[in-house]
Amino acid sequence: MHIKYIFMIKKLYLIVIVSFITISATFAQAQQNTTTADTAKLKPFPNANMNNTIDIHFNGFAFLDDHEYDALIPLRKTISGTRTEIDMGYNVDTANHFVVGVNPLHEFGGVPFYVQVNPVAYYSYTGKHWLYNMGEFPRNDLLQYPRALINDSVQYYRPNVEGALLRNTNKFGYATAWIDWISRQTPTQRNEFMAGEMFKFAPNPGHAFYVMHYLLFMHDAGTKSDTAAPIRDQGGYQVRLGLDYSHRGYFDSLKFEGGYMFTEYRVRSMYSWRTSDGLVASVYMSRKRFSIFDEFYKGQANYLTFGDPFYSKTIYNRLDVMYAAFIGKHLKGQFFMSFHQSPSHLTDTEPGFRVVYDIGRKVIARFKDDN
């Protein structure tokens, strides 16, 4: 293997080790000082007495997302449809829950009506500082990765994690580790899974400065009937330094981030690790119904299966302008226009609209305790 690749791989392993050490330190600190806001993130279930109860949950979204890019002609398409998730949960107590349901997708004009139905079936532990899910559970709000690593369009076609997730939250931030099986190996299907970790660390809670870290690994092996098929591995990480001035002035939200991105990939039977790196930066601001998000990348081309394909460009900028047309108790409708700038293509646009609705979890039955 080339000396450069050996050095880069060792650097990646070192960063992974340091990341998990940092996570362990975060887990160990201030377990009695979790803020109300952080605790709420761990509790998707009602906070009232839930012993021996059954609840129901209904949510979903409709979307129209026009990906007609000149810079990515082979990938041009309009994504549109609706997802509706309904599930029922049995709550053993306030911490232990079992949830079963479905999350079907209808694409506008598609036949059959439901082109995809994803099962929802998982166990969830929601403690004061810990969240643990195992099964098939919604990824939204739990795995908010940068688009360069996991594209936001994944929510349309792969809304669930199929595996396990562990999260710890305290006054310094949170840390999450997860694994997601994409495909189980059969005579016709490949063996594919993703795993990763992410954390946010604010050394001085209540102050603007924080650190974000994201790590992703994906393994893609052959089918049982084709043992000679090439085995592919890929991964990436980002480290970002941020400043959060939300609710401290004119803007409702105001965040600045900048950092470093590294990716690598290989086909074991053909070549060893090939690496890419670059710099990332972003700013997000919102005021009432309007919000703007701008992100910039400068570096080498990246090739991640679930990453935004625009990051295969050596320089790229994206500006999202969003307007919440209507906001209700359980409903939000938002128009957005995205402007993409990449080499030789400075005028690509992505108009769209999405409606999100969520009634929350409603207790519908209560049983007497067995004792």
Give the per-residue pLDDT at 325.
94
* Measured distance CA(156)–CA(115) in Å, rounded: 12
CATH at 183: 2.40.160
Report in angstroms the alpha-carbon separations of 175 from 204, 285, 322.
16, 25, 29
Question: Is residue 219 scored above 50 in pLDDT?
Answer: yes
CA atoms within 13 A on the CB side of 310: 34
371 falls within a domain = no
160 falls within a domain = yes
* Measured distance CA(313)–CA(308) in Å, rounded: 10
79 falls within a domain = yes
DSSP code of 75?
Answer: G
pLDDT level of residue 215 (50, 70, 90 thresholds) = very high
Residue 117 tokens read as 């139905």
243 falls within a domain = yes
Give the chain's mean pLDDT: 87
Taking only the tens place, the pLDDT of each residue in 106-156 is 999 988 899 999 999 999 999 999 999 999 999 988 999 999 999 998 989
* CA 172-173-176 angle, 5° bins: 135
Give the per-residue pLDDT at 185.
87
Mean pLDDT over 317-337 rounds to 95
Q: Cis (ω within 30 of 0) for the bond into 351? A: no
Output b/e per residue, 324-357; b: 16+ Cβ within 10 A. Answer: eeeeeeeeebbebebebbbeeeeebebebbbbbb
Residue 265 belongs to what domain range? 3-366
206 falls within a domain = yes
Report in angstroms the alpha-carbon separations of 18 from 12, 89, 104, 196, 201.
10, 38, 40, 14, 14
Give the per-residue pLDDT at 141.
86
pLDDT level of residue 43 (50, 70, 90 thresholds) = low
**Domains: count for the chain:** 1
Mean pLDDT over 211-225 rounds to 93
pLDDT level of residue 6 (50, 70, 90 thresholds) = very low
Mean pLDDT over 81-103 rounds to 96
Tell me the pTM: 0.84
Choice between 1 and 124, residue whose per-residue pLDDT is larger:
124
CB atoms within 10 A of CB 270: 9
Residue carrying the six token digits 């060792």: 10
DSSP code of 302?
Answer: -
298 falls within a domain = yes
